[in-house]
Amino acid sequence: MTSTTAAPVAPKRRAKRQESGSYSTPHNRKDLGTALAFIAPAALGFVVFFLIPTIRGFYFSLTQYNLLGSEKFIGFANFQKLFGDPLFYNSLWVTVEYVVLNIAFQTVIAIGLAVLMHRLTQSTILRGALLLPWLISNVIAAMIWFWLLDYQIGLINMFLEWIHLPKVTFFGGDATAIPTIAFVNVWRHMGYTALLVFAGLQTIPTYVYEAASLDGSSEWSSFWRITMPLLRPVLAMVLVMTVTGSFQIFDTVSVTTRGGPVNATRVIQYYIYQKGFAEGQFGYASALSVILFLILAIVAFVQMRLLRADESDLA
């Protein structure tokens, strides 16, 4: 006579597989299909506009290529030429000078604005006003400041002359051109950066400040001992974004100085543009782009490691 106790074994095993998550249900498959449908447009855009151009850029960096003929494979000749090019080192130095000025002033001003918003007011109108310069395109912002700071007809120099101060060649001087371009971009981006920092400030519990106040901590001491350490993950993200964006400065230079005077504002992005589209050396321009890509990857990695972006003191 056969035993009937073995019948429920299969349902029990199925139940265990469902509890452990190893059993695929129709509901789970439907969720996966929905997720893939939402991801597909972004994934397609990434492949078409980023991944494929990046691979082609790496390939073109190993070729001698212009629009008038087919590419010719030359190996690492472009990179050998690049490391002996004084204009490359000049453009890299000018870019670093701009990045240091832009990041230093933008970060300090943005943190100050964010703290003021967090401590004094949380007005939606004020946040919107801070964001207005960021909503203006780079080209329009550069043109506005180019006219305002013009040596002959600019309102700023007219005001300086009215109060009996000497005019300043903001965009035309070797020593003033890069600081002026940095100022324009600080003005445009500081509101957006301040809102990112402000969002980070809202994640810090108020009881931390209350406990520090009971211990006699001043506002200044609380800022350095509480706010800044707890803002580290947010600041790491902000710095990676702003540094990466600063290394890619192009439109402000193109609209205002076009790399001048002499080579004072020939940043590396503008140098890539000149080599590729003005001189037709697409292979050499691609090699410059590869070097810039490697620099940005290294800088971002170092920032993430030094700032310990994956750690939080709130945990």
pLDDT, mean of residues 187-208: 90
Q: d(Cα 91, Cα 180) in Å, to the nearest integer?
A: 17
Is 16 contained in some domain? no
pLDDT in tens, 216-256: 888 888 888 888 888 888 888 899 899 999 998 999 999 99
Q: Does one domain contain both 189 and 145?
A: yes
Q: Does one domain contain both 249 and 281?
A: yes
More confident residue, 155 or 17: 155
What angle is formed at CA 270 by the lines to CA 267 and CA 272, rounded to 5 degrees?
A: 110
Residue for token pair 């452990």: 20
Q: Does one domain contain both 42 and 93?
A: no
**pLDDT for residue 1:** 45
Q: d(Cα 46, Cα 3) in Å, to the nearest integer?
A: 60
**pLDDT for residue 314:** 59
What is the CA 112 to chain-centroid distance, rounded? 20
Work out the pLDDT band at 24, boundaries 50, 70, 90.
low
pLDDT, mean of residues 203-213: 86
**pLDDT for residue 2:** 46
**pLDDT for residue 312:** 62
Work out the pLDDT band at 6, boundaries 50, 70, 90.
very low
Q: Does one domain contain both 285 and 215?
A: yes
More confident residue, 179 or 11: 179
Question: 212: domain range?
Answer: 79-307
pLDDT in tens, 143-173: 999 999 999 999 999 999 999 999 999 999 9
Number of H helices, E strands in the chain: 16, 2
Q: d(Cα 19, Cα 33) in Å, to the nearest integer?
A: 22
Show the DSSP H helices in the chain as ranges.
Answer: 9-20, 26-46, 52-60, 77-82, 86-119, 124-135, 138-148, 155-162, 177-201, 206-214, 219-222, 228-230, 232-247, 251-256, 268-273, 282-307
Q: d(Cα 288, Cα 79) in Å, to the nearest integer?
A: 8
pLDDT at 27 over 70: no
Q: d(Cα 227, Cα 221) in Å, to the nearest integer?
A: 9
Percentage above 90 pLDDT, the chain: 53
Q: Does one domain contain both 51 and 152?
A: no
Residue for token pair 């030429």: 81
Q: Does one domain contain both 152 and 267?
A: yes
Q: Give how far Cα 93 sits from Cα of 33, 98, 141, 263, 294, Å.
A: 49, 9, 25, 11, 16
pLDDT, mean of residues 115-140: 84
Q: Does one domain contain both 179 and 100?
A: yes
pLDDT, mean of residues 51-69: 89
More confident residue, 10 or 37: 37
Per-position DSSP letters for 172-235, written without gaps between them: TSTTTHHHHHHHHHHHHHHHHHHHHHHHHHTTS-HHHHHHHHHTT--HHHHIIIIIHHHTHHHH
Here the CATH number for the domain that contains residue 297 is 1.10.3720.10
Q: Which stretches does DSSP call E strand in the chain?
A: 63-64, 72-73
Contact between residue 88 and residue 168 where contact means Cβ atoms under 8 Å apart: no
Percentage above 70 pLDDT, the chain: 89
Is 5 contained in some domain? no
Is 10 contained in some domain? no
Indicate the residue among 56, 73, 90 that finishes a domain. Answer: 73
**pLDDT for residue 161:** 93
Residue for token pair 């004094």: 120
Work out the pLDDT band at 3, boundaries 50, 70, 90.
very low
pLDDT, mean of residues 285-301: 93
Per the structure, the count of domains in the chain is 2
Q: d(Cα 150, Cα 154) in Å, to the nearest integer?
A: 4
Q: Does one domain contain both 155 and 226?
A: yes
Is 261 contained in some domain? yes
pLDDT at 122 over 80: no
Q: Does one domain contain both 181 and 302?
A: yes
pLDDT at 8 over 60: no
Q: Does one domain contain both 65 and 165?
A: no
